[in-house]
Amino acid sequence: MSRGGKSTKIMVNRDKTTTGGLIDHYLSQKGDRGWTQTHLAGKIGVSAAEVSRWVTGERPLPEKRRHEIAKVLDIQQEDLLPGAPMRSDVKRLYIREIDKMSDSEVRAKLEEHMDSKR
């Protein structure tokens, strides 16, 4: 990719313990084939190079941008904090499992859960 004659290389971060890795993870979950950093950059009005800098850890992710990215990716801001559990992923897994169950199975699981909390 080039801009004004300069080449911009988009870096990927697969380490989900970093903010950049979490951004890349959630981008890969969007749509049928995932979103690119360039797509995200366009959605929040910054350059792809800037998104790449956040992803690689070259620059910290500003709080304002964390809010914008969370909104665009339809996740909680906290989901982009290193060490945060991936609540969105966990919710999706639970929903998939619940969808496979009958109403009586769901009730039984909820009762079992509530009993374990007492």
Nearest partner of 47 among 56, 60, 38, judged by Cα: 38
Domain ranges of the chain: 2-84, 85-118
Given CA atoms 11, 87, 78, 42 in this order, what sign does their dihedral have?
positive
Looking at domain 2-84, its CATH class is mainly alpha
> Over the stretch 6-38, which tens digit does the pLDDT of each residue have?
444 445 555 566 778 788 888 887 777 778 899
> Over the stretch 40-88, which tens digit does the pLDDT of each residue have?
999 999 999 999 999 888 999 999 999 999 999 888 888 888 766 556 6
42 exposure class (CB count in 10 Å sphere: 0-12, 13-18, 19+): middle
The answer to whether the pTM exceeds 0.75 is no
